[in-house]
Structure 1
Amino acid sequence: MAKGGFPGMGGMNMNNLMKQAQKMQKQMQEKQEELAERTLEMTSGGGAVKVVITGKKEIKELKLNPDVVDPDDVEMLEDLIMSAVNEAIRQVEEMYNNEMGRMSGGMGMGF
């Protein structure tokens, strides 16, 4: 075994391994910050409800087409809003998992 190395690590010493881990951690933190600033837009009901969400899962905008506002059918509007919001959240999680998965080389780091 090479001095300061580990079997199967090609002679990589602990200092180099730690530097690589710190570099990867910094890159992942930067990527998380970048993703947090992104916005995604989701719609439901053929565009009747639009939701804009950030990577932090904060709703920034909610727009309703006035034609969908029916006082006799509030339940349908509630369903459309829930659908758009839930899809927006799902898309943010998928965005994080895809981007972080690429960075971690598929090491199974879910966010």
Structure 2
Amino acid sequence: MKDLLGMMSKVKEMQSRMEELQQELEALDVQGVAGGGMVKVTLSAKGTLKAIAIDPTLLTPDDAEMLEDLIVAAHADARAKADRLVQEKTQALTAGLPIPPGLKLF
């Protein structure tokens, strides 16, 4: 019974810390780049698109398809960085807790 109460206490503590982490992740920004920095995409660590910066030299009708590809690549780069950041923060938060492998908390 004592173990169950201790576990419930840890679960409540982790729940509170997870809520704090959710807020922190929304405030953290990651930037993805493509085309040697000609296209930059900024996302929150939770994946909300916040900004796109495009080098003006890419804004020609002849470069439209390339620009579209660079935006997608920059977004993918930012998303990968955000996913790594979430994974690192979650691992730090859940260190020492008996969580089954493969369980995704976000």
- TM-score bracket for the superposition, by shorter chain length: 0.7 to 0.9
Counterpart-to-counterpart distance in 2, 1:15 and 1:44: 51
TM-score (norm 2): 0.83
TM-score (norm 1): 0.79
1:69 aligned to which of 52, 59, 71: 59
Give unpaired runs (5+ residues) of structure 1: 5-11
Greater RCO (CA < 8 Å, at least 6 residues apart): 2
Q: Report how many residues are paired.
A: 101
Q: Structure 1 counterpart of 2:55, which letter?
A: N
Counterpart-to-counterpart distance in 1, 2:24 and 2:81: 16
Equivalent in the alignment of 1:9: none
Q: CA deviation at 1:86?
A: 1.4
1:1-111 pair list within 5 angstroms: 4=1, 12-105=2-95, 107=99, 108=101, 109-110=103-104, 111=106
Q: CA deviation at 1:80?
A: 0.5
Select the structure that is richer in helix. 2
RMSD over aligned CA atoms reads 1.7
